[in-house]
C-alpha cells in the first residue's frame, strides 16, 4: 500500500480586512478553472455508479427485510446477513455479524443493487478463525453484557443466555431439525466466520483471536451471490439468542 498522501487546499477567511471575499473560483490570488479531462473522468464514473445503483440483481423480495428497531434486538436483516455468510462459506460452523453495519432496510419488490449497498455499505470482508465453544461463549457474553454496540446475530447455532446471580451463563446448541437442538460441549472446536470490523475491533467481542482475513470480496458481494443463487429463507423459526 502506498504511503503517499493527497492534501486538498482549503481557503479559510478569518477577516475581510483586505476587502476580498473568499471564493471557490480563486486560490492564492489565482483563478481556479475546471480541468476538462478530470471533469470527463468524474462524469463517466458518476454515470457508471448510477447505472450500477439502479441495476436489478434478479431477486424479488415479497416483503421488506427490516433492521432492528432497538439496539439490543434481533432483526430479519441481520439474520439474513449471518445466514448468507454461512452459505457463502460452507466450510464454517458458525457465522456472526452485527447490526451496526446495517444502515437501511431492504424494500419489498425487485431488488436493486443500490438498495443492497445502502443496507450494507461497508466493504468489510470475511474473517475466519477456529474457536472452542467456550471461547465463543465468552465472546457472546461480552457482547450481551456490553453497553456499547448492537446485538450480534448468529447463524449455524442457537444461543441461550441466562443470569444466575451476577453471572451470565451462555449455552450453545446446534439445531437438529426444525425444533430440536443438541448441546455443544465447551471444548468442541468450531470454525467461525465474522466480518473484519467485529474481528479486529479492540472493543469487540474477539480481542485475542488470531483471524485469517480475506482480501476480497466484500461480504456485501457474497450476500448478493447467495441471494441470486438460492434466495433466502430464515434457517430457523423462533429464537437464535434466547435471554
Q: Does residue 28 lie within any of the structural domains?
A: no
Number of domains in the chain: 1
Stretch 140-166: mean pLDDT:
86
CA separation for the pair 82, 226 (Å, rounded):
11
- Mean pLDDT, all residues of the chain: 87
**Backbone region of residue 238 per phi and psi (left: phi > 0; alpha: psi in -120 to 50; beta: other values):** left
pLDDT value for 179: 74
Which H or E run includes 189? strand 189-195
Cell of 4: 503517499
Is 210 within a domain? Answer: yes
As a whole number of angstroms, the longest Cα–Cα distance in the chain is: 79
Q: What is the mean pLDDT of residues 114-126?
A: 97
**pLDDT reading at 24 higher than 60:** yes
Nine-digit cell at 25? Answer: 473560483
Structure confidence at residue 54 (pLDDT): 98
Per-residue pLDDT of 68-86, as tens digits, reads 887 677 899 999 999 999 9
Within a domain: residue 160?
yes
3 domain residue, yes or no: no
Residue 158 is assigned to a structural domain of this protein: yes
Q: What is the mean pLDDT of residues 130-144?
A: 95
Confidence of residue 241 (pLDDT cuts 50, 70, 90): confident
Task: Give pLDDT, residue 84.
Answer: 94
Give the whole-number percent of the chain exceeding pLDDT 70. 84
Structural domain includes residue 41: no
169-224 pLDDT tens trace = 999 999 887 778 899 999 999 999 999 999 998 888 998 899 999 998 999 999 99
pLDDT reported for residue 68: 86
pLDDT at 2: 43
DSSP 3-state of 126: strand
Residue 60: give its domain's CATH number: 3.90.780.10
Whether residue 22 is predicted with pLDDT greater than 70 in this model: the reply is no
C-beta of residue 68 within 8 angstroms of C-beta of residue 211: no
**Does 13 map to a domain?**
no
Quote the pLDDT of residue 1: 41
Quote the domain boundaries for residue 231: 56-242
Tens digit of pLDDT for each residue in 82-101? 999 999 999 999 999 988 88
Domain membership of residue 42 (yes or no) is: no
Averaged pLDDT for residues 113-125: 97
Residues 6+ away with beta carbon under 8 Å from 101 = 120, 121, 122, 124, 195, 197
Do 89 and 107 contact (CB within 8 A), yes or no? no
Amino acid at each position: 500500500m502506498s504511503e503517499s498522501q493527497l492534501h486538498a487546499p482549503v481557503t479559510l477567511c478569518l477577516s475581510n480586512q483586505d476587502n476580498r471575499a473568499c471564493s471557490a473560483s480563486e486560490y492564492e490570488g489565482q483563478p481556479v478553472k475546471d480541468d476538462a479531462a478530470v471533469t470527463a473522468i468524474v462524469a463517466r464514473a458518476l454515470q457508471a455508479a448510477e447505472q450500477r445503483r439502479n441495476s436489478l440483481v434478479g431477486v424479488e423480495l415479497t416483503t421488506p427485510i427490516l433492521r432492528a428497531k432497538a439496539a439490543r434486538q434481533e432483526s430479519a436483516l441481520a439474520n439474513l446477513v449471518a445466514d448468507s455468510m454461512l452459505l457463502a462459506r460452507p466450510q464454517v460452523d458458525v457465522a456472526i455479524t452485527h447490526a451496526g453495519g446495517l444502515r437501511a432496510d431492504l424494500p419489498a419488490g425487485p431488488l436493486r443493487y443500490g438498495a443492497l449497498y445502502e443496507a450494507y455499505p461497508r466493504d468489510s470482508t470475511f474473517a475466519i478463525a477456529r474457536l472452542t465453544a467456550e471461547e465463543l461463549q465468552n465472546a457472546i457474553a461480552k457482547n450481551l453484557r456490553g453497553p456499547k454496540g448492537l446485538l450480534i446475530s448468529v447463524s449455524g447455532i442457537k444461543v441461550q443466555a441466562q443470569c444466575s446471580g451476577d453471572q451470565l451463563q451462555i449455552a450453545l446448541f446446534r439445531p437438529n431439525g426444525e425444533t430440536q437442538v443438541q448441546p455443544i460441549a465447551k471444548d468442541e472446536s468450531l470454525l467461525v466466520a465474522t466480518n473484519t470490523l467485529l474481528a479486529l475491533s479492540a472493543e469487540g467481542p474477539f480481542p485475542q483471536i488470531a483471524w485469517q482475513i480475506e482480501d476480497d470480496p466484500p461480504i456485501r458481494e457474497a450476500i448478493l451471490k447467495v441471494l441470486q443463487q438460492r434466495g433466502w429463507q430464515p434457517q430457523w423459526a423462533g429464537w437464535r439468542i434466547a435471554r
